[in-house]
Structure 1
Amino acid sequence: MSTNLIFNNTETAFRLKTDSELERAYFLFKMIANEPLVRIGAAATRFALNIHLPVEGLIRSTVFDHFCGGINEEDCLPTVDSLYEVGISSVLDYSVEGKETDQQFDATLEKVIELTKFAQHKDAMPFSVFKPTGLGRFKIWEKVSANENLSASEEKEWQRIRQRYDEVCQVAHDCSISLLIDGEESWMQDAADQLCEEMMEKYNREAPIVFNTLQCYRWDRLDYVKEAHKRAKAGGYKLGFKVVRGAYMEKENERAQDKGYPTPICESKQATDALFNEVMQYVLDNLQDISLFLGTHNENSTYLAMEIIDAKGLMKNDSRIWFGQLYGMSDHISFNLAEEGFNVAKYIPFGPVKDVMPYLIRRAEENTSVAGQTSRELSLLKREKERRGI
């Protein structure tokens, strides 16, 4: 099958879905395509959970089971194993957001360490992952990014964040598991970038253990990559980058407008796409120093990456290049890439239903704002239903 057609292969894309799971996916994306319905559903779900209505079973059997692997890592294993049988690896993502206390941050640290050690014994799980604000308060990240003076207690808090980073990176290094550190809002990201580079300098001497995330809807990210590359070459360490388009666009633009500074976001979707492709090209041109985890649901960028890999004469399964998509989305990309022999990983969120709901609501809201994403999912699901005669 020619490259420009592989993502249309729905038989491969949905090979693991039963007929009932296919029907559920079609129903969910029909719901997500309706923006007012998503808003109402999100508000109703938050309300129902906050007043402890017995809705977890309903959530679990619909949106949760489609987008999440389970409530704990053991719960995720059947999904991890079935994906690996068709050549797709897994990144288990403990998707609990919005915590505020040291006790909660230490608990998240222990969970990430536990998952990293768990991955060490599973060939299907070459990565571990965490969010910077999973290990420390957003306000501290924000103050450090703005170069504001910290109080004595805040300085201690910042040092605890650094210690948590160091601890989890050390475990990842010892387990030979690559560690993906997610990107967040621009006004806390400078501190996260700086701390991530410190960890790279310490732990990426022989191999890229620590990966930072580049959100390419930010117009400054190509310049940042080039400067980070210079620092890495001077310091004698490897870089790892997860390259994505980004997840906080509306929030970024609103804050910039409210506070009267230029938006850090590219002026258009086309500009974001162009920058994403430039960053991807730069990393693929410098694989001797930088490894790539390409987190994208965009078919054109994925085809371009495949063409560059082919033009450079690289192996499809070159260990320095991975493609990644979210569980429950873009199976036409993930499964067909894996069928072609590329390195592919699914991000699989998990956690207690109530704790994971902020993530799921954000995911649904993002889908409504990505032009064409939901309609593409629907058209492929419809085609596979017709192929199966259901």
Structure 2
Amino acid sequence: MSKERIFDNTEIAFSLKSNSELNRAYLLFKMISYEPLVKVGKTLSNFAIKANLPVDSVIRATVFDHFCGGINEKDCLPVIDAMFEKGVSSVLDFSVEGKEEESFFDAAMDKTLEIIKFSENKEAMPIAVFKPTGFGKPSLYTKKGEGKPFTAEEQVQWNRVVARYDKVCKLAKEKDVELLIDAEESWMQQAVDDLVSEMMQKYNTEKAIVYNTLQMYRHDRMAFLMQEHDHAKANGYYLGYKIVRGAYMEKENERALKMGYPTPICESKAATDDNFNASAKYILDHLDTISLFAGTHNEESSYLILEMMEEKGISINDNRVWFGQLYGMSDHISFNLANLGYNVAKYVPFGPVKDVLPYLIRRAEENTSVAGQTGRELMLLTKEKNRRKLV
């Protein structure tokens, strides 16, 4: 399988992009490739938002429309339908970050419930998602994970967090919509893990509905995966895991250094890659009890999973194995896999332009810091631009 280099087919990868969209993507990744420009852009964007400057149209016409599906669910429908015609499903992701009010957490829960109901009758949307800090304060997750006692008010707030999880997971089970729960920084993740494991035990009784997320740049995640597997087997329920490399490496290392504890991050990129691939292999070895959502922009890991599926005789459209990438990135992986019949879903962020800006800035920063990612996008976009000139 790897010898075929299926991800090099740019005609399939960018089949949905017009020439103008292709040029916009090229200019966008070119800008993102310059770290000083990303830093300046972040500062200017934050200033513009705080100063209430009318920047929505500028942001929308550039970075927003490339990385986001729209400002609301209805706005995303043309994107969802167009991708599904090419075999790529959508995971609508309400990407508003950094809020701390209870009213926002309730609104985020309601939005997730709406998406699950929306997904039930929309074949193109078989999976829903939410971010733990969209349902509760970071400080609560941290305190709970550290085993510190809550104040009476904090306990009430935490009970609301648990109730939000339960309500969303219950509806996902009723509507048969798989539900991905994203990961947070390690100091919050312990509380998330405990709560998601509780939800899995309650709702993954016939198959995986609720999925936790494993950030494999953490060196303890393989041991955690095997421990959770033992618990699930002993208690008769199924596991679902989205595996990713991870998104908070600098913050993790800085906090560990500042607070004087060993970093949870793997010692090298190679160790992270090995960890990610080992988790994929472990899950595929136990597909009877664990379902896999491989969230990766890494070509070699994707090829490896394809090879393992072939070796194990796993059908390419087995619903227990999904590949996932972010909207606006790695189209060469998503669309080429879908073209062959594999289960592929794009995370499609949406929300009001100004509210989604922190997410967009994080995307730009991640693209700048991931070695080779932006260069690969630029090379593929250039290849497709040149191909079209010859057609």
TM-score normalised to structure 1 length: 0.99
Report % sequence identity.
Answer: 61
The alignment partner of 2:225 has SS state of helix
Does the CA contact (< 8 Å) of 2:68 and 2:348 recur in 1? yes
Q: Which amino acid aligns with 1:105?
A: F
Instruction: Give, in whole Å, the separation in 1 of the partners of 2:3 and 2:352.
Output: 40
Counterpart of 2:133 in structure 1 is: 133
Shift of the 2–195 alpha-carbon distance from structure 1 to 2, 3 Å rule, reads: closer
Aligned pair count reads 390
1:165 aligns with 2:165: yes
1:242 aligns with 2:232: no
How far does the alpha carbon of each residue in 1:107-150 deviate from its partner, in whole angstroms, 9 at most, with x for none?
11101001110111100001000001100000000000000011
Counterpart of 2:97 in structure 1 is: 97
Q: Which amino acid aligns with 1:48?
A: A
Instruction: Give, in whole Å, the separation in 1 of the partners of 2:207 and 2:81.
Output: 26
1:298 aligns with 2:301: no
Does the CA contact (< 8 Å) of 1:10 and 1:380 recur in 2? yes
Give the drift of 1:50: 1.1
Counterpart of 1:263 in structure 2 is: 263
1:379 aligns with 2:379: yes
Instruction: Give, in whole Å, the separation in 1 of the partners of 2:235 and 2:353.
Output: 43
Does the CA contact (< 8 Å) of 2:2 and 2:307 recur in 1? no
Instruction: Give, in whole Å, the separation in 1 of the partners of 2:197 and 2:4.
Output: 37
How far does the alpha carbon of each residue in 1:223-249 deviate from its partner, in whole angstroms, 9 at most, with x for none?
000000000001100000000000000
Matches within 5 A, 1:279-358: 279-358=279-358
Give the drift of 1:4: 3.5
Instruction: Give, in whole Å, the separation in 2 of the partners of 1:168 and 1:286.
Output: 27
Instruction: Give, in whole Å, the separation in 1 of the partners of 2:98 and 2:230.
Output: 34
Give the drift of 1:54: 1.1
Shift of the 111–3 alpha-carbon distance from structure 1 to 2, 3 Å rule, reads: farther
The alignment partner of 1:314 has SS state of coil
Does the CA contact (< 8 Å) of 1:292 and 1:321 recur in 2? yes
How far does the alpha carbon of each residue in 1:6-25 deviate from its partner, in whole angstroms, 9 at most, with x for none?
11100000000000000000
Instruction: Give, in whole Å, the separation in 1 of the partners of 2:3 and 2:54.
Output: 48
The alignment partner of 2:291 has SS state of strand
Counterpart of 1:16 in structure 2 is: 16
Counterpart of 2:359 in structure 1 is: 359
1:178 aligns with 2:178: yes
The alignment partner of 1:317 has SS state of coil
Q: Which amino acid aligns with 1:226?
A: M
Instruction: Give, in whole Å, the separation in 2 of the partners of 1:162 and 1:388.
Output: 52
Matches within 5 A, 1:10-89: 10-89=10-89
Give the drift of 1:3: 4.8
Instruction: Give, in whole Å, the separation in 1 of the partners of 2:99 and 2:209.
Output: 26
The alignment partner of 2:267 has SS state of coil
Does the CA contact (< 8 Å) of 1:238 and 1:290 recur in 2? yes
Instruction: Give, in whole Å, the separation in 2 of the partners of 1:203 and 1:211.
Output: 11
Runs of 4+ in structure 1 off by over 3 angstroms are 1-4
Does the CA contact (< 8 Å) of 1:13 and 1:336 recur in 2? yes
Does the CA contact (< 8 Å) of 1:215 and 1:245 recur in 2? yes
The alignment partner of 2:125 has SS state of coil
Matches within 5 A, 1:143-154: 143-154=143-154
Does the CA contact (< 8 Å) of 2:324 and 2:347 recur in 1? yes
Shift of the 2–266 alpha-carbon distance from structure 1 to 2, 3 Å rule, reads: closer
Instruction: Give, in whole Å, the separation in 2 of the partners of 1:3 and 1:49.
Output: 48
Bigger mean CA deviation after superposition, 202-211 or 3-12? 3-12
Instruction: Give, in whole Å, the separation in 2 of the partners of 1:256 and 1:74.
Output: 42
Counterpart of 1:115 in structure 2 is: 115
Q: Which amino acid aligns with 1:333?
A: I
Does the CA contact (< 8 Å) of 2:325 and 2:334 recur in 1? yes
Instruction: Give, in whole Å, the separation in 2 of the partners of 1:150 and 1:220.
Output: 27
Give the drift of 1:314: 1.2
Instruction: Give, in whole Å, the separation in 1 of the partners of 2:14 and 2:231.
Output: 43
RMSD: 0.9
Matches within 5 A, 1:221-236: 221-236=221-236
The alignment partner of 1:389 has SS state of helix
Unaligned runs of 5+ in 2: none
Instruction: Give, in whole Å, the separation in 1 of the partners of 2:5 and 2:242.
Output: 26
Does the CA contact (< 8 Å) of 1:4 and 1:303 recur in 2? no
How far does the alpha carbon of each residue in 1:182-224 deviate from its partner, in whole angstroms, 9 at most, with x for none?
0010001001000000000000001111000000000000000
Instruction: Give, in whole Å, the separation in 2 of the partners of 1:309 and 1:218.
Output: 25
Does the CA contact (< 8 Å) of 1:3 and 1:303 recur in 2? no
Instruction: Give, in whole Å, the separation in 1 of the partners of 2:129 and 2:3.
Output: 31
Unaligned runs of 5+ in 1: none
How far does the alpha carbon of each residue in 1:27-72 deviate from its partner, in whole angstroms, 9 at most, with x for none?
0000000000001011101111110111110100000000000000
Instruction: Give, in whole Å, the separation in 2 of the partners of 1:60 and 1:96.
Output: 15
Counterpart of 1:156 in structure 2 is: 156
TM-score normalised to structure 2 length: 0.99
Instruction: Give, in whole Å, the separation in 1 of the partners of 2:120 and 2:2.
Output: 36
Instruction: Give, in whole Å, the separation in 2 of the partners of 1:157 and 1:60.
Output: 35
Q: Which amino acid aligns with 2:318?
A: D
Instruction: Give, in whole Å, the separation in 1 of the partners of 2:287 and 2:26.
Output: 39
Give the drift of 1:2: 6.8
The alignment partner of 1:292 has SS state of strand
